[in-house]
Amino acid sequence: MVEHLPPDGALARAASGSSWTVAEYQRADHADRQARAATDFRNANRAEKTAAEPYPDPVWRPGDPTPKQKAKAEARAVREAREGCQRIVDQVLPKQAPM
């Protein structure tokens, strides 16, 4: 009975955990390819002494972190790196006697 259900139907979307249909993913992929092609065209036709443009960021898709989540993760990584560096410094340098 479940064999003939559409691949982007409600049951399939519920099972995958995404509300996007196959067509929406295809449109996002198409937008990414168009943006990359436009960047390639501009880079191919730029003046010799100008720098090449970087590729644009891909279109957001379900499951990707939001900008707020990205910033939070980066801040956590910086904090953990500083704490790790401080632990190493504390282990290597001798403790100063109070004067």
SS (H, E, C) the chain: CCCCCCCCCHHHHHHHCCCCCHHHHHHHHHHHHHHHHHHHHHHHCCCCCCCCCCCCCCCCCCCCCCHHHHHHHHHHHHHHHHHHHHHHHHHHCCCCCCC
pLDDT value, residue 21:
80
pLDDT value, residue 62:
82
Q: Is the pLDDT of residue 23 over 70?
A: yes
Q: pLDDT (tens digit, 9 = 90+) per residue, 38-82?
A: 999 999 999 999 999 999 999 988 878 888 888 999 999 999 999
State the pTM of this model. Answer: 0.57
